[in-house]
Amino acid sequence: MTRLAAIHGEVIAAHGRHYLVEVSPAELRWCVTRGRRSDYACGDQVLLTPEGAADGVIESALPRTSLFSRSVEHRTKLLAANPTQLAITVASEPSFSDELITRAAINAHHQGMRTLIVLNKCDLPETDAARERLHPLLRAGYPLISLSALADVSALRPFLAGERTVLMGQSGMGKSTLVNALVPDANTLTAAISTFLDSGRHTTTASRLYRLDAQSSLIDTPGLKEFGLAHLPLNRIARGFPELADWHGTCRFANCGHRSEPDCGYRQALDTGAIHPRRFELMLRVLEAEGSRRSHGH
Ligand SMILES: Nc1nc2c(ncn2[C@@H]2O[C@H](COP(=O)(O)OP(=O)(O)O)[C@@H](O)[C@H]2O)c(=O)[nH]1
Ligand SMILES: [Mg+2]
Ligand SMILES: [Zn+2]
């Protein structure tokens, strides 16, 4: 029996240690891994050994240009490989978490990714209040795209062109509605995947890559409530605030807590209005939470 040579593919869905790999638009293969490895992610470029008509074994992944992941307890969960930007979906209602947005954007910045905010359900009367809450992010320079996924998603399309975008959001924000509007055959692939897994419940808990065109793709991630940053060095957290760019390293004390120490550079940024007070407060909250998590060895 001849052993087939490894071929190249791209992971388009990740379910535990099962990966759906696109070898070509007409050739999808469900792959397992060597040695029970589970550290591949949607968007990974992989080498696989084909088996039969529709299976395979992933041998290795090519080097990544970026990796979007979050920490849960002491574990790192991979959400997407090689993304160029993050789109955070929020909605006029239900209410969204400022801290979740902040944490995800810090992580994206650390990976060299741009972050967009997509405000969905702009047909609802709560939209003005939601915009007010997003104002500090606007001031920090994040693009805000307002739309109603039920009506028209065209405002978002130019931002997705030529990019590999990770789509993230809390559940209920309309992320699935948005994906279905952007990717007309999204449901077909989802149905094929649930048939393979023989269970609908997996389909909402994994990342999925959709092609928008030859140059653009979208990686949909599971709805999440928390975004742990234990996998980031603590000193990357303040660096994730683009409006503080001119103030890094200007605190008098290297271990400055940015609350009451004299000559704190970041408080100077606050005093001059460079950073919005709510962003400053969020920065301290994230810094302190992640700092105590690390010192308690979690
Ligand atoms: N009014 C309004 N409702 C929306 C819009 N987009 C989604 N929804 C509704 O919000 C609810 C949650 O949507 P879904 O896409 O399942 O959210 P997900 O949990 O983020 O995937 C559903 O009832 C949708 O119909 C929108 O633009 N306007
Ligand atoms: Mg959904
Ligand atoms: Zn300071």
Per-domain residue ranges for the chain? 7-61, 67-220, 234-295
Which amino acid type is present at position 150?
L
Share of the chain above pLDDT 70, in %: 95
279 token code pair = 């962003």
Asked if 7-61 and 234-295 have one fold, the answer is: no
Question: Which amino acid is it at 25?
Answer: P
Q: Is 174 in the pocket of ligand 1 (CB under 6 A)?
A: yes
Topology at the third CATH level for domain 67-220: Rossmann fold (3.40.50)
Looking at residue 58, what DSSP letter applies?
A: E
Please give the chain's pLDDT, 298 residues, in tens.
Answer: 555 689 999 999 998 888 999 999 889 999 999 998 999 999 999 999 999 999 999 999 999 999 999 999 889 999 999 999 999 999 999 999 999 999 999 999 999 999 999 999 999 999 999 999 999 999 999 999 999 999 999 999 999 999 999 999 999 999 999 999 999 888 777 777 777 776 555 544 689 999 999 999 999 999 999 999 999 999 999 999 999 999 999 999 999 999 999 999 999 999 999 999 999 999 999 999 999 988 875 4
CATH homologous superfamily for the domain 7-61: Nucleic acid-binding proteins (2.40.50.140)
CA dihedral over 223, 95, 216, 153, signed as positive or negative: positive
Q: What letter does residue 5 receive in the DSSP assignment?
A: P
Mutate to test the pocket of ligand 1, among 177, 187, 220, 221 (most ligand atoms within 8 A of CB): 177
Please report, for residues 35, 62, 230, the alpha-carbon distance to residue 168 in angstroms, rounded to integers and kept in the order given.
30, 24, 19
CB of residue 109 inside a 6 A radius of ligand 1: no
CB 108 within 8 A of CB 114: yes
Six token digits for residue 169: 């959001």
For the full predicted model, state whether its pTM sits above 0.85.
yes
Q: Which atom of ligand 1 is nearest to the CA of 151?
A: 27
Distance 262 CA to ligand 3 centre (A): 8
- Does ligand 1 come within 6 angstroms of the Cβ of 271? no
The pLDDT score that the predictor gives to residue 163 is: 98
Quote the pLDDT of residue 3.
59
Query: 234-295: which CATH number, 1.10.40.50, 3.20.20.70, 3.40.50.1820, 1.10.645.10?
Result: 1.10.40.50
> How far from chain centre, in Å, is Cα 92?
20
3-state SS class at 81: strand
